Structure 1
Amino acid sequence: MAFFLLTLGTVSFVAGIALAFNICGAAAAAARYAAANAELAMHARGDLSTPKRVMSKQVYRYLGAVTALAGLVLTLGGLLELAF
């Protein structure tokens, strides 16, 4: 169980940090991806107007910070389980 927590925690920590600090434009890419998906969904319904932006780059950065914090908690939990 400890190795599972360490692996999951480390992966989510690194992914959260990449989003939170916008490394290589990760948050901007996530915002563009969501906008493209919204546009495709609207076109599939037959609506040809411009899509409304639901989440901005800043929201993805906040979500990345929350994910990094959760990953840190999981990693520390895995380390504690290994220690005891």
Structure 2
Amino acid sequence: MSLAFFLLTLGTVSLITGAALALNIRGAAAAAARYAAANAALAMHARGDLGSPKRVMSKQVYRYLGAVMGLAGLLLTLGGLLELAF
């Protein structure tokens, strides 16, 4: 029964965070893109490169990854419910 609770917990968290990224709730995908750009700039400055940082991933890529993560969370949640039922 502990496997069911583990799958339900992990699936629910993945579903909620994936949906927040996929639907860009409160600017989650935009914030992730800004965080990645700032991190790339810090890494470039640490190497001594003072040019402008290159864009690593756009907001749309984070939204697609959030959709995949949300679907995986849905599958984990359904697996946990099936484990709990049987």
**TM score, norm. by length of structure 2:** 0.97
Q: How far apart are 1:23 and its partner, in Å?
A: 0.1
Aligned equivalent of 1:10, options 12, 15, 26: 12
Q: How far apart are 1:54 and its partner, in Å?
A: 1.2
What stretches of structure 2 of length at least 5 have no aligned partner?
A: none
Query: Which amino acid is 1:52 matched to?
Result: K
Aligned equivalent of 1:36, options 15, 35, 38: 38
Partner of 1:26: 28
Stretches of 4+ aligned residues off by more than 4 angstroms: none
Cα RMSD, aligned residues only = 0.2
> How far does the alpha carbon of each residue in 1:55-78 deviate from its partner, in whole angstroms, 9 at most, with x for none?
000000000000000000000000
Partner of 1:74: 76
Q: How far apart are 1:27 and its partner, in Å?
A: 0.1
What stretches of structure 1 of length at least 5 have no aligned partner?
A: none
Q: What is the number of residues matched between the two proteins? A: 84
**TM score, norm. by length of structure 1:** 1.00
The residue matched to 1:47 in structure 2 has which SS?
Answer: coil
Partner of 1:57: 59
Query: Which amino acid is 1:73 matched to?
Result: L
> How far does the alpha carbon of each residue in 1:7-65 deviate from its partner, in whole angstroms, 9 at most, with x for none?
00000000000000000000000000000000000000000000000100000000000
